[in-house]
């Protein structure tokens, strides 16, 4: 019986040397929702993400993915859980020396026994769902625009049909127009593929546009969490200050979403 709380962290701590980077994280991501983790540089956002996808082990605590605690797992079991995640990295992280087809097909080569023409078909299906056609297959990443690279990186993350997609700073380095397009892409992907999204971002505007739940991470602790409206209107002074300093007109975004 799948749990609605697809990702649950209980008292998670992570220490590098004598620096405790995450200090008792409690969080819950609900299935088919978008959770955004916001916070300043060095707050521990990327570390948190790497713990969730089990690329890194916590110093202590529990990390439940679909109800299974990954913390005590051995390598074999953890590899199985890792396949529940599609990762979209900052700057898309495509391999520059191979074309789009080979980039997107990469997870299929690693994890399936599909033949080349079957892989090509699956790649085209995903690219098509994201608004790209076969004219991009032979292109190299350097020949793509920033927005197209994001789509290609997302297609690759979706290749094995993971239930959870995690994005690390998907809009950093993009202009406001492309940022809006990537926000739309994250939301469309969630709806179309029925995935749960976890988005790490500096970008308050993105967070307010797409999050069901926003989590503010402040120097390794969760300062506050709730809907974006909760962050803007709740009693967390840290949240209000973070929003104020971003200079983003969050009230306008909330109005546009229809729940000011």
Ligand X SMILES: Nc1ncnc2c1ncn2[C@@H]1O[C@H](COP(=O)(O)OP(=O)(O)OP(=O)(O)O)[C@@H](O)[C@H]1O
Q: Taking contact as CB under 6 A, which single stretch among the options 41-49, 121-129, 190-198, 248-256 is the one that binds ligand X?
A: 41-49
Between strands 19-30 and 164-168, the pairing is unpaired
Shortest distance, position 32 Cβ to Mg ion, whole Å: 25
How many positions of this chain bind ligand X (CB under 6 A)?
Answer: 11
Shortest distance, position 168 Cβ to ligand X, whole Å: 8
Site for ligand X in 187-206 (CB under 6 A): 202
Place of tokens 């995690």: 166
Site for Mg ion in 117-156 (CB under 5 A): none
Toward Mg ion, which CB reaches closer, 32 or 46? Answer: 46
Cα dihedral 118, 77, 83, 33 sign: positive
For residue 114, what are its two tokens?
């599909």
Closest residue to bound Mg ion by CB? 46
Out of 3, 32, 46, 62, name the contact with Mg ion by CB under 5 A: 46
Decide: 51 and 11 in contact? Cβ < 8 Å.
no
Toward Mg ion, which CB reaches closer, 89 or 193? Answer: 89
Q: Taking contact as CB under 6 A, which single stretch among the options 2-10, 38-46, 99-107, 156-164 is the one that binds ligand X?
A: 38-46
- Binding mask 42-61 toward ligand X (x if CB under 6 A, else -) reads xxxxxx--------------
Contact between 134 and ligand X by CB under 6 A: the answer reads no
Say how far residue 32 (Cα) sits from the centre of its chain.
Answer: 13
End-to-end CA distance of the chain: give it in Å, rounded.
36
Say how far residue 203 (Cα) sits from the centre of its chain.
Answer: 13
For residue 46, what are its two tokens?
């990327």
> Apex CA 114: angle with CA 113 and CA 118, to 5°?
175
Q: Taking contact as CB under 5 A, which single stretch among the options 45-53, 65-73, 135-143, 237-245 is the one that binds Mg ion?
A: 45-53
CA 60, CA 11: separation in Å to the nearest integer? 8
| Residues at the interface with ligand X (CB under 6 A) | 16, 21, 39, 41-47, 202
């Amino acid at each position: 019986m799948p749990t609605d709380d697809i990702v649950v962290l209980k008292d998670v701590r992570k220490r590098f040397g004598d620096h405790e980077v995450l200090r008792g994280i409690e969080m819950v991501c609900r299935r088919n929702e978008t959770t955004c983790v916001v916070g300043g540089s060095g707050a521990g956002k990327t570390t948190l993400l790497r713990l969730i996808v089990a690329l890194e082990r916590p110093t202590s605590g529990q990390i439940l993915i679909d109800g299974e605690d990954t913390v005590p797992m051995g390598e074999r079991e953890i590899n199985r859980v890792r396949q529940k995640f599609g990762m979209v990295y900052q700057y898309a992280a495509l391999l520059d020396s191979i074309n789009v087809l080979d980039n997107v097909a990469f997870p299929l080569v690693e994890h399936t026994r599909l033949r080349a023409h079957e892989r090509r078909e699956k790649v085209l299906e995903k690219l098509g769902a994201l608004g790209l056609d076969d004219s991009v297959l032979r292109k190299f990443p350097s020949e793509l625009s920033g927005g197209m690279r994001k789509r290609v990186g997302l297609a690759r993350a979706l290749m094995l049909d993971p239930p959870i997609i995690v994005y690390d700073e998907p809009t950093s380095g993009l202009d406001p127009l492309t940022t809006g397009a990537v926000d739309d892409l994250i939301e469309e992907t969630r709806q179309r593929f029925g995935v749960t999204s976890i988005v790490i971002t500096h970008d308050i505007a993105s967070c307010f546009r797409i999050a069901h739940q926003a989590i503010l991470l402040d120097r390794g602790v969760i300062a506050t969490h709730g809907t974006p409206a909760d962050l803007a209107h709740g009693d967390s002074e840290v949240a209000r200050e973070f929003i104020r300093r971003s200079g983003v007109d969050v009230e306008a975004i909330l109005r546009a979403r229809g729940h000011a």
